[in-house]
Amino acid sequence: MFLVAELFPSLDCLADSEQTFIVKPYLQLGNHPTLAAEENLDLLWISNSNQDNFELYIKEHNKSQWIQQKTPQRVILSYSVPDKLYLWDNQIEGLVPGQSFQYKLVKNGKDVFRGSGTARKTEGQAFRCVLFGDTGADTLSERKIVYQTYLKKPDFLVILGDIVYSYGRLSEYIQKFFPIFENAKASEQTGAPLLQSTVALPVIGNHDIAYGDNKAGINFDKLRDALAFYELWSAPLNGPIKSRSELHIPRLMGNEEYISRYLETTGNRYPTMSNYSFDYGNSHWLILDANPYMSWTNAKLRDWVRKDLQTNKSKTWKFVCFHQPGFSIDKVHNTEQRMRLLSDIFQDCGVDIVFSGHAHNYQKSYPLIFHPQSKNGIPVINADGTVSGSFIFDKKYDGKSNTHPTGIIYVVSGAGGAALYGSMENPDRAGFTNEFVSSTHSLTYLDINQNKLIYSQISEDGKVLDSFKIEK
């Protein structure tokens, strides 16, 4: 048996029976991949009592009436501790697309929390979003990035993997992530109350799966609260992997009772939620798992990627996100090129920008077309993890006077708070690098209005490091 103090040594509030929230309410897209006439979201929070009677009420824009939602669902997060933690999940239903709303939580008849949000935008509405990865390290820079995101007031946030360091544990989320992303005070020193009003979407990274060597599996005997990714996030479940029996999943090891309880907690989110897609406004987003257990030469997986993108070819904008970049010049990760295996599909299906993290800096490629070497029509990966092939660059595109790129722009936005990577390989050796910034942490900001996209890379101090425009 584990004691609470062993998993959560810095949380005095866990011993306080009057504490309402271990983690305050945060908004999620939930299993709602496509736009609907009436939009739905999920509201999640964590408490340490199963005696609470929570009720959720919603008040829509310019209306005075509070409407009660369905009863929240509750699951136990920490089975093996005496004082268990409970995750509550309440659907918010029937929202008007693009309109703001208020919500309040009532516990045992008492109003205990109020927040607000905005329903997903329709195809005709402008929207803005922020992306960054490699964040939950409990640093001042993480706090600054969260604060800068809060100031931008995005409609949603995509976290590009390595969400919390170093092992993706529940305890690490509670110590290093939520106190900053859900801080009641908005400042560079504290973070901001971001997630209570902004939907965040997760991308799974290598630190999120707690692998020692990225091959053996997650050992719950060693890290009892590992792999919290599938417990704490609620995203669409439309990915290609549905079963524990499939090959391309993070493996579970250790005590069978722990594994059984973990599976009960995560339900159908494990292992499906590591690959998914969703629509927002006139854009389509594809989220992929780039960890080594994924074989992107596999015909079934490749067919799913192609079908997902082709099905959404009418969308004005198409974006792909995964953690480990295929095109990077930092010295730490530049030979991890396996995600180049999907470049041909991205090109065929009209993807505009591919976003990654993993390298703790900012990198932007020229618009490019990459043809990987193949055998029998399937791209080939070399023994050292590299993927050979031929490039075509569009160096006439400048994003200012010329706003029509030929090819895909590959962005690494991995400077979300963890220690920076300052060194890089010679960019002339690869030839694809257009921008490289490793001197400051930063975030990516997109402002999209119909057929116009304005891109900005913003430093932790609010300075514009890079910008460009794409028009269609």
Rounded Cα distance, 78 and 203, in Å: 23
* pLDDT confidence tier of residue 12, bands split at 50, 70 and 90: very low
Pair 265, 149 in one domain: yes
Question: CA separation (Å) from 371 to 58, 132, 241?
Answer: 50, 27, 27
Pair 177, 259 in one domain: yes
Pair 212, 97 in one domain: no
pTM: 0.95
Pair 107, 208 in one domain: no
Pair 314, 228 in one domain: yes
Q: Is the pLDDT of residue 103 over 90?
A: yes
Which ranges in 68-223 belong to alpha helices (H)? 140-152, 170-172, 178-181
Question: Which residue segment(s) compose the domain that 23 sits in?
Answer: 1-120
Residues 6 or more apart in contact with residue 257 via CB below 8 angstroms:
none
Pair 376, 270 in one domain: yes
Pair 137, 169 in one domain: yes
Judge residue 282's burial from the number of C-beta atoms within 10 Å of its C-beta, 0-12 exposed, 13-18 middle, 19 or more buried.
buried
Last residue of one domain, picked from the residues 120, 139, 174: 120
Q: What CATH number did the domain enclosing 254 receive?
A: 3.60.21.10
Last residue of one domain, picked from the residues 120, 145, 170: 120
Pair 74, 178 in one domain: no
Give the number of domains in the chain. 2
Pair 384, 465 in one domain: yes
pLDDT by residue (tens digit) across 370-425? 999 999 889 999 999 999 999 999 999 999 999 999 999 999 999 999 999 976 66
Q: Is the pLDDT of residue 253 over 80?
A: yes
Tokens of 157: 């946030």
Q: Is the pLDDT of residue 58 over 50?
A: yes
Q: What CATH number did the domain enclosing 25 receive?
A: 2.60.40.380
Q: Is the pLDDT of residue 17 over 60?
A: no
- The residues that bridge with 368 in the sheet, in sequence order, are 393, 408
The predicted pLDDT at position 10 comes to 44
Pairing of β 368-372 and β 389-393: antiparallel
Which ranges in 105-173 belong to alpha helices (H)? 140-152, 170-172
* pLDDT confidence tier of residue 80, bands split at 50, 70 and 90: low
Of the candidates 405, 397, 403, 412, the one whose C-alpha atom is nearest the C-alpha of residue 454 is 403
Q: Is the pLDDT of residue 1 over 60?
A: no
Pair 90, 136 in one domain: no
The predicted pLDDT at position 364 comes to 97
Rounded Cα distance, 171 and 164, in Å: 10
Pair 51, 136 in one domain: no
Last residue of one domain, picked from the residues 87, 102, 120: 120
Pair 288, 311 in one domain: yes
pLDDT by residue (tens digit) across 358-372? 999 999 999 999 999
Buried b (16+ CB within 10 A) or exposed e, 21-48: bbbbbbbbbbbbbebeeebbbbbbbbbb
Rounded Cα distance, 165 and 209, in Å: 10
The predicted pLDDT at position 443 comes to 99
pLDDT by residue (tens digit) across 258-298? 899 999 999 999 999 999 999 999 999 999 999 999 999 99
Question: CA separation (Å) from 31 to 40, 236, 277, 284, 439?
Answer: 9, 4, 10, 15, 38
